[in-house]
Amino acid sequence: MTATRVLITTDYLRPGDEVDEFLRLSGLETVHLPMVGRRDPEQLVAALAGIDAALVANEPLTADVLARAPRLKVIVRTGVGYDSVDVAAAARLGISVSNLPGINANAVAEYTMGLLLAGARRLVQSAHGVAQGAWPRADGCELRGSTLGLIGYGASARAVVPLARAFGMSVVCTTNVPARLRSDPSVGFVDLPELLATADYVSVHTSLTERTRGLLGESAFKRMKPTALLVNTARGPIVDENALVAAVRAGQIAGAALDVVSEEPLPPDSPLRGVDGIVVYSHMAGQTAEARAAAGRRGAEELVAALAGRAQFPVN
């Protein structure tokens, strides 16, 4: 009987680790091909040859790639977002797709506060100046008394709320979740134009869909305060990067802290490079030791369950 083969591309999962051992004890054969940078579609097709299930990072699993993986029956994302997978195509092909909702919410929330603090106090610019031989003395702003605007009200956004409140911030939020789920009395729920106009810090926590692609563009930046800082730990394409660069250079907003960008890793010719006020990080918001351990374990458990027809977190 042919063994059930599992492809693992998440870069922090390794042969012989806890996840690998769990999968092997479940009777599965594992193949590790860690994702580093962007992977060519033909490389993905080759990697998926003879594979029955995949525990994946952010590889672009397009309709064409999936159609050329005839044995593939299960895909599990070791994270929350699944926009890199053509879910509709997977459904047509009988492939189960799962994510891990809320798995790294605490990590993302703490990181978001870190970006807020770094931006408010210009910590990156200060450290860079010292490294270059200068001794920067520009002042910054306190978070206390300011307003944080959350775009989205999923697990990571909800985890930000008590942290922001502990710093003395007011919190407003725009979301499409039903009113019955907007139960936190410390959050003011408003529409997007009002949030943009009133927030001192705008933090993106929504998923990438056709509705949210380019949500923050020229018209949005014109509504924001000239002192406002944009933080994005969600998905790069939610922000129109050319419009963002123009807005920061024109002084329409103060700057941005971006953990995600439209193309990752950031290309050498990206317009985001070299813009005073824009700091780009390497998509690390959810990457703590604790979150990685939890994602590996739960991802492996979900994969085994999905192979048995009992997926707990299917998205198709």
Give the tens place of pLDDT for each residue, 6-31.
Answer: 999 999 999 999 999 999 999 999 99
Compute the average pLDDT of residues 121-134. Answer: 97
With a cut of 90, say whether residue 254 has pLDDT above it: yes
Annotated catalytic residue, options 29, 110, 264, 301: 264
E strand residue ranges, the chain: 4-8, 28-32, 53-56, 74-77, 96-98, 147-151, 170-174, 187-189, 201-204, 229-232, 255-258, 278-280
- The tens digit of pLDDT for each residue in 135-159 reads 999 999 999 999 999 999 999 999 9
pLDDT tier for residue 255 given thresholds of 50, 70 and 90: very high
Q: In this structure, which topology does domain 105-280 adopt according to CATH?
A: Rossmann fold (3.40.50)
pLDDT tier for residue 1 given thresholds of 50, 70 and 90: low
- The tens digit of pLDDT for each residue in 66-106 reads 999 999 999 999 999 999 999 999 999 999 999 999 999 99
- Percentage of residues of the chain with pLDDT beyond 70: 100
Annotated catalytic residue, options 5, 77, 205, 283: 283
With a cut of 90, say whether residue 289 has pLDDT above it: yes
With a cut of 90, say whether residue 35 has pLDDT above it: no
**Between 133 and 183, residue with greater pLDDT:** 133
pLDDT at 39: 77
Check if 290 is active-site. Answer: no
pLDDT tier for residue 244 given thresholds of 50, 70 and 90: very high
pLDDT at 37: 74
Pairing assessment for the beta strands 170-174 and 147-151 based on DSSP bridges? parallel
Query: pTM to 2 decimals?
Result: 0.95
4-103+289-307 CATH, one of 3.30.360.10, 3.40.50.720, 3.40.50.2300, 3.30.465.10: 3.40.50.720
Mapped onto helix, strand or coil, the DSSP state of residue 275 is coil
For residues 85 and 62, give the distance between their C-alpha atoms in angstroms, rounded to a whole number: 6
Residues of the chain with CATH 3.40.50.720: 4-103+289-307, 105-280
Check if 205 is active-site. Answer: no
Check if 249 is active-site. Answer: no
Annotated catalytic residue, options 158, 205, 235, 292: 235
pLDDT at 209: 95
For residues 79 and 99, give the distance between their C-alpha atoms in angstroms, rounded to a whole number: 6
pLDDT tier for residue 311 given thresholds of 50, 70 and 90: very high
pLDDT at 120: 98
